[in-house]
Amino acid sequence: MYYPVMKITEFDRDEVLSDFLTDYLDGNLEKVEVNSFEGFLKMNPTEKEFAQKAAKGKKALEFMRKHTKNSRQLA
Amino acid sequence: METISKAKLQQLSNEDLMEKFQAGYEQAFNELVSRFQDRLHNFLYRYTHDHQDCEDLVQETFLRVYRSRHSYERIAKFSTWMYTIALNLAKSLYKKKQRMTTVTIHKDESDPEDRPMKLEDTNILPDDSLHEKMCMDHLEKALKELNEDFREVVVLRDIQQLAYDEIAEIADLPMGTVKSRINRGRAQLQELLEEYVYPETISA
């Protein structure tokens, strides 16, 4: 089985940053916090790439959830 | 015992229904089954990828809920308690299947009545449906390949939409680990999806 080799990021080292990312992806940050977090991402390309992939993965799962729900409703 | 109307049952929380069930109201259990059977099926499908196994596991989960109703205490959310039961059953089945030897049944050449089955071609679909099906196929495949530690938590969060504290309780992990695994699981899922769509960009 293939597992992508993912780089270790600051999110793995710092729980506060990991929390920040979770809230960012859930849309639970205030505007000023969003700006500050995006500023951090701008300065850290590895973390930015990771955050973008996590956001896209979350959207893919959202699509899956909606599609599964619709299929079950049609069944 | 006083009868409770269906309309009244539908207004009760899961935890209230469980208390009614503990007090002897079987209709409360039926309402819980009706609320959770599809969600449980979807959740368990991410583990088994087999609808028949899912049906069996859903039945078994409800059977355990039924039998163990008096061990439920209101300090836990009902959904957390039930998902924990379902997850443990799914893990047991997974381990059991890993131990089983795969047997392939071939066509019996000596039997003239034994023919290969003709299956309807389901690949011909209108464009939108085809695109949607392809996306779903990629997603199912990627999710199946995802490391189990990550798959468990992203399914609970992004498919089942459970709260982080519920996931921490079900998976028996600290909250920080849950959040970190969810983010890593999402990112790894995206990498797997990119591999299917743009395989030439993946270096050996």
CA B66 to chain centre: 19
Cβ of residue A47 closer than 8 Å to a chain B Cβ: no
Chain B environment of A58 (Cβ under 8 Å) = 158, 186
- Residue B130: predicted pLDDT: 60
Q: Does B185 touch chain A (CB under 8 A)?
A: yes
Structure token digits, residue B84: 């924990």
DSSP label of A60? H
- pLDDT tens digits, residue range B110-152? 555 555 444 344 444 445 566 667 778 888 889 989 998 999 9
DSSP letters for B163-199: -HHHHHHHHT--HHHHHHHHHHHHHHHHHHHHHHH-G
Q: B204: which 2 tokens?
A: 């050996």
Q: Which of A4, A11, A12 sits opposite B192 (nearest CB)?
A: A4
pTM of the model: 0.67
Smallest CA–CA distance, residue B27 to chain A, in Å, is 24
What are A47-64's pLDDT values in tens digits?
999 999 999 999 999 998
Any B CB within 8 A of A25 CB: yes
- pLDDT one-digit tens code per residue, A17-44: 899 999 999 999 888 888 889 988 998 9
Residues in chain A: 75
Mean pLDDT of B61-71: 93
Which residue in chain B has the smallest CA separation from A9?
Answer: B184
Chain B partners within 8 Å of A2 (Cβ): 145, 192, 195
SS3 label, residue B180? helix
Phi and psi at residue B188, in whole multiples of 5°?
-70, -35
CB contact under 8 Å between A68 and B159, yes or no, is: yes
- B154-171 burial, b if ≥16 CB within 10 A, otherwise e? bbbbbbbebebebbbbbb
Give B-chain residues touching A26 at CB under 8 angstroms. Answer: none
